[in-house]
Amino acid sequence: MKNPAKALITLLLLGAFGGAAYFSVHQTTLAPGSASAIGGLLGSAVPVELTGLIALDVEPYFKDSRVIKVLADNRITANVKRIGSRDMAAQAVPGQSPDFFFPSGVVAANQIGDAAKNAKLATTVYSPFYTPMVIASWTPIAQILAANGMAKEVQPKVWNVDTAKLVQAMLDKKRWKDLKAAQAYDVGKSVLVSTTDVRKSNSAAMYLGLTSYVINSNDTVTDKATAQKVALRVAELFKRQGYQENYVNGNFDDYASIGIGKTPLAFIYENQLMAYALAKKGVAADMVLMYPQPTIINKVVFVAASERAKALGELLSTNAKLQRIAVEYGFRIGDTAAFAQAAKATGLAVEERITQVIDPPSFEIMGEMIEVIAREMGQ
């Protein structure tokens, strides 16, 4: 890989591929409720003022007046600034580092951890909430996929998608009008899952990780030769989409506002549609979530870079009010039943337990594949 390309891919991957729940994260473990500096800070009468860098995903959460109040009740003030997850690691420097980082995804968290280690900064990592990757779709589309053996309704308005079969149909350049029972969507456009731009976007990089897995005979890509071969095939799925948004909400906005004609299948974070349903107090009658089998989990990771920031990490992870508010922003927490109940109140059906989760390729292998795709897309 040429040096300029390496630099580009490294910067991309700091923010891209927010990663699987089972990816390793550099961390110092600290048991909730243990006698530690956390207990001392929360029990102290002295206010704690923290500075932090946060991802776009959690900015509305930190601006919520209820979150601010819970922190204030625990004598914590969090002064936050939103920047891209890819840019956070550069801020982990001696004497200038913020008290905490809150990036989207474990890959960015690992990069921060590495930078902090090089700067001789101790870090502690928490994972307060997470969200799986899903396909936002419509009932007529789900029914067409089911008629062609690519999907199955596992409970009312909750669909599982056979990822391998759907990817194969896309690689075979199937068109909607050519599928069985396509009367409800008898159009000539290609069967494709809409994504954001893989060269710039986390969710699209996660789509790359998922599609590369099934193309590689349901196995994680582990070597450069295979990465280059598989990436050439995946590149077709991106190129044939045409223009792709490069920010997290662009693809979802097309799905929610323009509808089935523009976006029959959208690869998104589950929390995007959940937050939409909660804000709107419902969803359109034919909006459905489809869960790829397998899929990938995106964790929102809190990295405490100072001793006193551990109190905030602990609070976000264990405080019942803060956890419930996170659900209102569409995130899953340890209490999956609470998440499912919140969704039910809006009429949005969700799969309560996500069991088929894959491990993504390594950082270096992802870099190889993104470089191939970027070249194929003309950049």
b/e burial code for range 304-342 (CB count within 10 A of at least 16 → b): bbbebbbbbbbbbbebeebbebbbbbbbbbeeeeebbeb
Within 13 Å, how many C-alpha atoms sit on residue 163's CB side? Answer: 26
- The DSSP secondary structure of 39-98, one letter per residue, reads HHHHH-SS-EEEEEEE-GGGHHHHH-HHHHHHHHHTTEEEEEEE--HHHHGGG--TTT--
- Indicate whether 222 and 363 sit together in one domain: yes
Same domain flag for 246 and 303: no
220 and 365 both lie in a single domain: yes
- The enclosing domain of 268 has a CATH number of 3.40.190
Cα-Cα-Cα-Cα torsion 259, 265, 271, 274, nearest 10 degrees, comes to 50
- How far apart, in whole angstroms, are the C-alpha atoms of residue 56 and residue 46? 30
Parallel/antiparallel/unpaired status of strands 48-54 and 100-102: parallel
**pLDDT band at residue 12 under the 50/70/90 scheme:** very low
| Strands 76-82, 48-54: pairing kind | parallel
The reported pLDDT for the residue numbered 165 is 97
Please, which pLDDT band fits residue 286 given cuts at 50, 70 and 90? very high
Same domain membership, residue 266 and residue 196: yes
111 or 272, which is more confident?
272
287 with 332, same domain: the answer is no
Q: Let me know how long the chain is.
A: 379
Query: Chain-wide mean pLDDT for the chain?
Result: 86
Residue predicted with more confidence, 191 or 377: 191
Please give the structure tokens belonging to residue 219: 């196995």
| Distance separating alpha carbons of residues 243 and 248, to the nearest angstrom | 15
43 and 145 assigned to the same domain: no
**Distance linking the first and last C-alpha atoms of the chain:** 15
Q: Does the residue 251 lie in any domain? A: yes
- The total number of structural domains in the chain stands at 2
Does a structural domain hold residue 257? yes
Indicate if 164 and 250 belong to the same structural domain.
yes
User: Is 378 inside any structural domain?
Assistant: no
Give the structural domain span for 249: 132-296+358-372
Q: What is the pLDDT of residues 197-243, one digit of tens each?
A: 888 777 888 899 999 999 999 999 999 999 999 999 999 999 999 88
Share of the chain above pLDDT 90, in %: 65
26, 123 Cβ separation under 8 angstroms: yes
CB 330 within 8 A of CB 275: yes
353 falls within a domain: no
337: in domain: yes
379 falls within a domain = no
Task: Answer yes or no: do 49 and 14 share one domain.
Answer: yes
- The predicted structure's pLDDT at residue 177: 96
Binned at pLDDT 50, 70 and 90, residue 14 comes out as very low
82 and 167 co-located in one domain: no
159 and 68 co-located in one domain: no
Burial annotation 39-75 (CB, 10 A radius, 16+ → b, else e): eebeeeeeebebbbbbbebbeebbeeeebeebbeebb
- So what's the pLDDT on residue 44? 54
Residue-wise pLDDT tens digits, 28-44: 333 333 334 444 554 55
Residues 307 and 185 in one domain: no
Is residue 55 domain-shared with residue 77, that is, in the same domain? yes
Q: What is the pLDDT of residues 153-170, one digit of tens each?
A: 999 999 999 999 999 999
Residue 321, pLDDT > 90, answer yes
Which CATH number is 30's domain given? Answer: 3.40.190.10
Residue 214 domain flag: yes
For residue range 59-94, what is the model confidence (pLDDT) as tens digits? 999 999 999 999 999 999 999 999 887 788 889 988
Does 36 map to a domain?
Answer: yes
Tens digit of each residue's pLDDT (9 = 90 or more) over 186-202: 999 999 999 988 887 77
- How far is 79 from 307, CA to CA, in rounded Å? 16
What are the CA-CA distances from residue 97 to residues 100, 114, 116, 221 (Å)? 8, 14, 9, 35
Lowest mean pLDDT among 10-14, 211-215, 276-280, 284-288: 10-14
